[in-house]
């Protein structure tokens, strides 16, 4: 029986794989990589918006992890350790490229003071109709600083105090930038939805159809 | 309370801090209630992006090579099965043209999207379904995929499972992109997704050849 088959039949746990990896066991490294590759790569991809960079960063994050695996003592979850390390690798890369890690207020060109919208625009409600592809696309379009905050908080689940430490801003700043990132995302999603609705209407236009825009959105109350 | 005041407290509201005054404003203001519903929806859907895409197989290859170079991976005490013996290069040679044909097929589909998309959505996410493959129903495996999987059947179980998972993931993305392209053939993002998924599948086929033939 091969080592790998034995590991599999023993229902190799993450903890067992970590111990074997510390001994230099190739199968254990591959097992650990297989367990976490999707989460790490998705994190890198969402934060950079670039598949080639995301692959490089995934490679770097796992290499750093495996080089240090001998020091892992299990005080925290292995996945927590890895994801924190991955975030650090990505943030370091963003800083190297002089991309904003901390959102810059001035880059937000929307009017975040109120939810008012252009009068006469169609009433586009997103709630309950956002699918993964739409959201993924909109996140990729976010300015880098907003993307970082949104991915760390809403996608990855880090708390504001953790984010503040990681990217070097205040907790209040993290909160306010997250809010602006969400508003910007909503704007991007609504724009996409409006464009689709418009092209759909044009494609299916019939003489008897009433093309009057629906009422309402957006007047400020 | 007006809209400006409501939005200033919206971040706290989303985290659960409600007051009667805020509730009263929401009841009377469709703009703010729509905004709140949209933001809630974004927050709810966001975790679905947590782990949805796999890196290409070349990432692990590069990591493994580097770990061996640095002496971090040491050969296990119990020998692994000889890769050169179980899957000789001549048996895998047919995979190379098949892999190339995959990418060509993707290109053809982009230019003739009408035939695409007769499959059911797979990777469409719900808040409770963050994993594409894990939540997806099993789909019929194509003949080519099955031949690849048969060819690597004698690999260690963990590696075989990884192959299957990667293959299913690539296929799920192909189905999603095809569905998206059926509704909007000019969707550049979906076109890119489809090409990436086919490229990933091509890489899986090539990897089956490289990792066996290359280690002889």
| B168-198 confidence digits (pLDDT tens) | 877 877 887 787 788 778 777 777 778 877 8
Contact B162 A34 (CB under 8 A): yes
Distance in Å, alpha carbon of B98 to nearest chain A alpha carbon: 24
**Contact across the interface for A125 and B60, Cβ inside 8 Å:** no
What is the greatest pairwise CA distance in chain B? 76
Q: So what's the pLDDT on residue A197? A: 74
Judged on CB neighbours under 10 Å (0-12, 13-18, 19+), A13 is exposed
Test the B interface: residue of A30, A90, A134 with most B CBs within 10 Å? A30
Q: What is the pLDDT of residue A34?
A: 92
Q: How does the average pLDDT of chain A come out, rounded? A: 78
Decide if pLDDT at A20 tops 60.
yes
Residues A74-133 pLDDT 10s: 777 888 899 899 999 999 988 887 666 555 554 444 444 444 444 445 556 666 677 788
pLDDT > 70 fraction of chain A, expressed in percent and rounded: 71
Helix (H, G, I), strand (E, B) or coil at B74: strand
Q: Tell me the pTM.
A: 0.63
Residue A152 pLDDT > 50: yes
Residue A120: per-residue pLDDT: 47
Cβ of A112 within 8 Å of Cβ of B78? The answer is no
Q: Is B80 helix (H, G, I), strand (E, B) or coil?
A: coil
In this prediction, the answer to ipTM > 0.85 reads no
Averaged pLDDT for residues B9-20: 82
Between A132 and B118, residue with greater pLDDT: A132
Instruction: Tally A–B CB contacts below 8 A.
Output: 214
Nearest CA in chain B to A179: B11
B211 pLDDT more than 70: no
Rounded distance between C-alpha atoms, residue A221 and residue A218, angstroms: 9
Band (pLDDT 50/70/90 cuts) for residue B210 is low
């Amino acid at each position: 029986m091969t080592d790998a088959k034995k590991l599999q039949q023993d229902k190799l746990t993450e903890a067992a794989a970590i111990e074997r990896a510390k001994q230099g066991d190739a199968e254990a490294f591959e097992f650990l990589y297989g367990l976490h590759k999707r989460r790490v790569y998705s994190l890198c991809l969402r934060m950079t918006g670039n598949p080639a960079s995301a692959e490089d960063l995934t490679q770097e994050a796992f290499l750093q992890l495996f080089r240090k695996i001998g020091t892992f003592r299990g005080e925290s979850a292995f996945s927590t350790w890895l994801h924190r390390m991955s975030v650090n690798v990505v943030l370091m890369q963003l800083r190297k490229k002089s991309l904003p890690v901390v959102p810059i207020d001035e880059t937000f060109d929307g009017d975040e003071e109120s939810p008012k919208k252009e009068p006469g625009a169609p009433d586009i409600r997103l709630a309950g109709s956002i699918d993964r592809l739409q959201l993924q696309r909109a996140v990729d379009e976010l300015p880098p600083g907003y993307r970082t905050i949104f991915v760390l908080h809403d996608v990855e689940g880090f708390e504001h105090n953790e984010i503040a430490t990681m990217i070097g801003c205040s907790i209040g700043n993290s909160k306010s930038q997250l809010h602006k990132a969400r508003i910007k995302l909503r704007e991007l999603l609504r724009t996409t939805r409006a464009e689709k609705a418009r092209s759909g209407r044009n494609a299916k236009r019939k003489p008897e159809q009433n093309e009057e825009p629906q009422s309402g959105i957006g007047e400020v109350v | 309370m007006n809209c400006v005041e409501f939005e200033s407290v919206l971040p706290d509201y989303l985290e659960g801090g409600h007051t009667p005054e805020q509730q009263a404003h929401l009841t009377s203001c469709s703009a703010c209630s729509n905004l709140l519903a949209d933001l809630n929806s974004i927050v709810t859907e966001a975790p679905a992006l947590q782990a949805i895409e796999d890196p290409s197989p070349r990432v692990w290859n590069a990591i493994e090579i580097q770990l061996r170079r640095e002496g971090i991976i040491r050969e296990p005490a119990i020998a692994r099965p000889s890769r050169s013996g179980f899957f000789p290069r001549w048996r895998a040679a047919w995979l190379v043209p098949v892999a190339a044909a995959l990418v060509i097929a993707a290109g053809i589909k982009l230019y003739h999207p009408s035939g695409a998309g007769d499959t059911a959505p797979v990777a469409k996410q719900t808040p409770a379904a963050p994993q594409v493959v894990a939540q997806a129903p099993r789909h019929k495996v194509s003949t080519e995929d099955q031949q690849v999987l048969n060819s690597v059947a004698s690999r260690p179980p963990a590696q075989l499972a990884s192959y299957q998972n990667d293959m299913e993931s690539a296929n799920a993305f192909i189905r999603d992109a095809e569905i998206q392209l059926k509704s909007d053939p000019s969707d550049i993002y979906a076109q890119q997704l489809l090409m990436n998924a086919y490229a990933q599948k091509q890489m899986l086929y090539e990897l089956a050849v490289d990792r066996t033939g290359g280690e002889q």
